[in-house]
Amino acid sequence: MNEPISDSKYFDGQFVYAKVNPGQKLIIRRYYKRIYYCRAVDGSEKEYAFFEKEISPDS
């Protein structure tokens, strides 16, 4: 897997959960300008954008 960028806590490909919906498992697709772009692990094409404080590594 990729190493975290110097100012990011999570890295591409890591599984996380949104604090507003902890039941939905997400995978980080990209980190750009302090925003994490994620997709649901269930295969949905919908993309979500979160700041670091809005996600957590476990549910």
Q: Where are the domains of the chain?
A: 15-56
CB atoms within 10 A of CB 9: 14
Model confidence over 11-25: pLDDT tens digits?
A: 999 999 999 999 999
pTM of the prediction?
0.84
- Mean per-residue pLDDT, 1-5: 60
- Mean per-residue pLDDT, 27-42: 95
Token look-up 């476990």 returns 58
